[in-house]
Amino acid sequence: MAQNTTIIDTTKPSHSPWLVLITVMVGTLLIGLDRTVVNLGLPGMIDDFKISVSSAGWIATAYIISNAVFVPVFGKLGDKLGNRVIYLWSFVGFTFISVFAGLAWNLSSMVFFRVVQGLVGAAVYPTAMAIIARTFTDPNARTQALGIWSASFAVSAALGPLIGGPLIDNFSWRWLFYINLPIGILGIFMTLWYLPHDKPVDTNKGFDYKGALILGIVLSSLVLVLERGRDWGWVSFESISAYSVVLIFSILFYRVEKREKDPIVDLKLFSNPVFTNVLILSFISFSGMMGAMFLIPVFAQTYLGFDATQAGLLFVPMALAMFVAAPLGGKLSQVVPLRYLAGAGMAISALGIYLFSGLDVKTTSLDLTIPLIIFALGLGLGMAPLTAAATNAVPANEVGVSSAVLNLVRNIAGAVGIAFFSTILSNLIESNVLQIGQDTVLNTTDPQTLQMVSTLVILKAQVAAYGTVFLIASSVMASGVVVALFLRDTKRKKRVEAVIIGA
């Protein structure tokens, strides 16, 4: 495969690389917040559009599918055409399509606008990561920068309920989209001013449309069953059909890409043990993170009497802890081997999740906040060196594709985590109700007493199920410690690189 060449013009002054980082973090936070915050507005959309809960689910599903399908496409296009131009126009498109989503008049229009949002927003993550990797030439600074950026990727999911709750309470669900306009305009001007120019490279080669189409079918089917499988049933006809499509087209994708001269995803990336291990660890950590962040607000609002805003406030200390731990992890990576630092991060995260296994109806805000902080510290500690390792382990001309794959894995991991742990929770509640009911002996036929006992049995079964789910989740997270021990530090070979800026 021909190597792309990046030429840096040293005759022109450039802005601080840290301003570049701040600029792309604006886009990262905006896209990440939009993905989580819109779910809070679904009840209002159901009322305004006169639709069912099941139909409303497509508003979120349409965005997630579209986003997943186009992440690898834009990762490849960024490598071929230049990351800045792809990032800029995706940010412009996302900002203004958000206004149209806020003006949606029925379900069909909303689903259409969400598909377009997911499409244009898909470019932000892979191009942002590639821009950071190429802007920070010092390996240690790059590690810190990528860690901070990755923390913003995770924090955006945590801040969604905190920002969305007040907007809905004081205005309406439509402001979940309108708020993107002023933030987006700020981000656009920052992009024009601070992001370094890059020229199109490798434009003589054609684009792998066949591979992109097949991969799109695989990803859309996978995300669809992860998002809708709980409603359909995991062994329903619809789910089995989706599994079959994923399997068949995955095989087809492998065969097509093996013959493609310039594939949309270079399969050789997966033969790189460092890159593969980083993907596995990212999958484990993000499935645990999204699973925990999905269940904690539900528990707090259902059993502790929290409202949406109070539940969102629980994640503020978590967000702060992650932003503290990410640069710390970058600093430590200079002296601590990658496998030990990543392993320690996974172990600390596992401890944080384990502390949730003792949840009960007497749990306080502090009891929830402390484990979340510990969990965030572990994630942040390992996030910087892992993200840097994903870029350092691949050739310079494939940074965009590798970052796209990494972010795709994180997104899918989040969907898997929510689907997996929520399904386990439902099954455990059912089995706990049966078990507790069998172990309960009543010597009364009083209807009120029987009703009260029945309510208490269900409550105990539900609370106990949460504890067991978090125990399982901590075990999954702890498995990452073993995977981390197989990581090896990589030093990217020195290359002669040139970037021509302008024109």
**Residue 36: pLDDT over 80:** no
Residue by residue, DSSP assigns 38-68 as: GGGGHHHHHHHHT--HHHHHHHHHHHHHHHH
- pLDDT band at 175, cuts 50/70/90? very high
Q: Return the domain boundaries, the chain.
A: 17-208+260-435+459-484, 209-259
**Residue 27 burial class via C-beta count within 10 angstroms: exposed 0-12, middle 13-18, buried 19 and up:** buried
Flag the least confident range among 87-96, 106-115, 135-144: 135-144
Q: Which of 187-191, 399-403, 407-411 has the lowest mean pLDDT?
A: 399-403
pLDDT tens per residue across span 276-326: 999 999 899 888 877 777 788 888 878 888 876 777 788 888 888 888 888
Predicted confidence at residue 264, as pLDDT, reads 87
Higher per-residue confidence, 80 vs 242? 242
Largest CA distance in the chain: 90
Average pLDDT, the chain: 83
Over residues 346-385, the pLDDT tens digits come to 999 999 999 998 888 888 989 999 999 999 899 888 887 8
CA-closest candidate to residue 101, choices 38, 188, 149, 144: 38
pLDDT tens track for 422-481: 888 888 888 887 777 666 666 666 677 667 767 677 778 888 889 899 999 999 999 999
Q: What pLDDT was estimated at residue 348?
A: 95
Predicted pLDDT at 438:
65
* Fold observed for domain 17-208+260-435+459-484: Growth Hormone; Chain: A; (1.20.1250)
How does DSSP assign 233-301, residue by residue?
-TTSHHHHHHHHHHHHHHHHHHHHHHH-SS-SS-GGGGG-HHHHHHHHHHHHHHHHHHHHHHHHHHHHH
Condensed to tens digits (0 to 9), the pLDDT of residues 246-261 reads 999 999 999 999 888 8
205-239 pLDDT per residue, tens: 678 889 999 999 999 999 889 888 888 889 999 99
Arithmetic mean of pLDDT, 28-43: 82
Burial class (CB in 10 A: 0-12, 13-18, 19+), 204: exposed
